[in-house]
A and B are shown apart, each in its own frame.
Chain A
Amino acid sequence: MNHVNATGSDIRFMSSTLAPAGFTQETFDAFMATREEPSWLVDLRQSAWSRFNELAMPSGREEEWMRTDIRMLKLSQYSLSTEVAAIETPQGLLAEGVELGGRTVSVDSHTTESELADRLADQGVLFGSLDTLVAEHGDKLRPYIERKLVDPLYDKFSALNSACWSGGNLLFVPQGVQVEEPLHCLSVLSDGGVDLGKTLVILEQGAEATLLAETASVGAESGGLHCGSIELIVERGARLRYVNLQNWSHRVWHFAHQMGHVGAGGKLQWTIGALGSRLAKVNQRVALTGSDAEAQVNGVMFTQGKQHLCYNTHQHHQAPYCQSDLLYKSALQDHSRTVWRGMIKVDNAAQRTNAYQRNDNLMLAPTARADSIPGLEIEADDVRCTHGSTSGRVDDEQLFYAMTRGYTRQEAVRMIVTGFFQQVFDRITIESVREALGEAIGQRVQQL
């Protein structure tokens, strides 16, 4: 009896000195106390926090979660960190040999490094931690944040991010400014860490920029939770190339809500690389809000082990004469699984829409599984919408053919996998990104 009591008091002692586990009211209050933010943002956080507490965890009964089982996720194991973990920052993949106009590094969504070329700053470009820049330019950024491209009330994860985001990345390019050198953001997760990053990109009318964003874990076996949001605002005639590579370790939970709005005559090229995470559930949406807007969406996925990656894509045509073109390609190894659900939605006003979506899967093991679920929802009557999906495997006859040309079996598999991704690589206009993805995939291909 004495022994049990002693243990009990130990636990009480521990919990009073360590941060309380889970996303509790105490942690939220403590988090809010550390922030000095304008009241409109505090209100926004408070309402999202209420929503987070009201909402249940998504369940397999919901259409969107039918194929994605998160019962093993225990939010109580994670918490808001108010201090930066002291870790060695891993190297990113995307910026190799690229002359950058600016860069940021964050650890568990605390920005630790931030640089921007003077000549860009002089032109009014804002780039760096969203935290810091909101404090400095709150009035300018308020309307964009209040547009809520990602709906804070959509689900438990969007609510959590809206309530508790920190660090984050902002890129603001003023009207007519063309940023030639790419900007780079690296988000790192410590072992067991939590990343609640928020990315906000605003290109004013006629502006141009390229942003390379990527994520990494501190170690190959380190776990953690990422619950993020990305909002891209491409105004009239602006052009954004945005690359988003998630390369978390295979023990990280990855939840993300992402939305790009493209105004009249604007262009968005959005490339997603999905290599990491234990389980990913990503909603990637683009909306074409003004006439003659264009969005090109490229997805490159490679899964292995027991990874489960679920990407819901949405192409929303709200205005006439717009184009959207989505191509997702996945190669799957081992017992991994991908789910792609794609939707093209064409509003009544969006006449003369030209929309395309396609998902190809290359099965590298009979134990892997890929679900492809394309969908169309069309209210306009003068549109061109096409969709398709394929699933294939590496053919023994292809392997033999290559071997009769001096290839080893392994080289042949790698070549066939690279060839499979070529169609999507051909669309990616940034060489360092093509090379990084090609190399990362090549390294992952195992002996068949």
Chain B
Amino acid sequence: MAETLKITDLHVAVEGKPILRGVNLTINRGETHALMGPNGSGKSTLGFAVMGHPGYEITSGSISLNGEEIAEWDATQRSRAGIFMAFQRPMAIPGVKLADFLRHATTNVRNPERREGAELIPMRQFRKELTEKMEHLRMDTEFARRYVNDGFSGGEMKRAEILQMAMLRPKFAILDETDSGLDVDAVKLASESIAEIGGDQMGILIITHHDKLLERNAPDFTHVMLGGRIVETGGIELATELYTEGYDRIRAAYPEAAEAEQEMVGKEVEAV
């Protein structure tokens, strides 16, 4: 049976404000999906809700992994079940070296039943694997000695996220604007890296505004989100269209969602 991450009629509120208004999305392992949409349409919210961020309240609907409901699971359970997100803005953890952080993380994800305090992956084995992955990603191994995301440039953060994905080998991965803030060469490198670390083994959801990340990771499906809903799904040609033409056609075709978008964006402006 194909492994599947299935999102059904998902409604999510943040601080009581509805953001997602009935999202349906099915990702099979091995498929690449692109998720596009204007700012504030709810793309990142979907990512956080799937990862189990406690601030994103699921008001109705379901998230299931291979038929098992996971909406009540915390982020630890979800990550250990093989779901990963590369953050748009990953958090810094001062004083904790990336290598140490990853050794612990990798051990936990590979041994989902592990209890705190139990053995970690042997240091030699871990070092060897980490070095291989870093060389593969053309990263200086010194980088692993730096504190997690502490003082990293935008590009370094994104590459560190890809490195983590490579080490954790998730079944499903959400890449939240992994291309933003990167120059053309860096996006190309990131794009190749995703393909090289076995993107075709995962179910991937690429959240992006551009088409560069998709060149090496051609989406099987492209989804457009507007006003907290996926309003249209197509192939790679839809991604190209949205990147070059923008969202005017989409807004005109789905006036109800466009109205919801107005409302959401308006609220965000108010909140600022």
- Which residues in A have some Cβ–Cβ distance to B below 8 Å? 395-398, 400-411, 415-416, 418-423
Contact = CB atoms under 8 A, between A and B. Distances in A.
Nearest to A426: B95
B96 A400 contact: no
A420 B79 CA distance: 25
B4 to A, nearest CB: 20
A406 B168 contact: yes
B189 interface: no
B172 to A, nearest CB: 12
Interface residues of B, number: 33
Contacts of B164: 405
Give 10 nearest A-B pairs by CB, closest first: A419-B95, A422-B95, A406-B108, A403-B75, A405-B105, A419-B96, A406-B109, A401-B91, A403-B76, A406-B79
A421 B147 CA distance: 13
Contacts of B147: 419, 422
A318 to B, nearest CB: 34
Contacts of B76: 403, 406-409
A264 B87 CA distance: 53
A418 B96 contact: yes
Nearest to B83: A404
Most buried by A among B74, B90, B92, B105: B105
Interface of B: 51-55, 74-76, 78-80, 84-85, 87, 90-96, 101-102, 104-109, 116, 147, 164, 168
B137 to A, nearest CB: 17
Given A403-B76, A405-B109, A419 B93 contact: yes
Given A401-B87, A419-B147, A407 B108 contact: yes
Contacts of A423: 94-95
Given A409-B76, A410-B116, A411-B116, A404 B95 contact: no
Nearest to B86: A404
Contacts of A410: 116
A422 B55 CA distance: 30
Contact of A404 (B85, B94, B102, B106): B85
A415 B109 CA distance: 16
Contact of A416 (B75, B85, B90, B93): B93
Contact of A418 (B78, B79, B80, B95): B95
Given A407-B76, A408-B76, A397 B91 contact: yes
A218 B51 CA distance: 47
A423 B79 CA distance: 29
A423 to B, nearest CB: 6
A400 B101 contact: no
A416 B108 CA distance: 17
B134 to A, nearest CB: 17
Most buried by A among B51, B55, B76, B109: B76
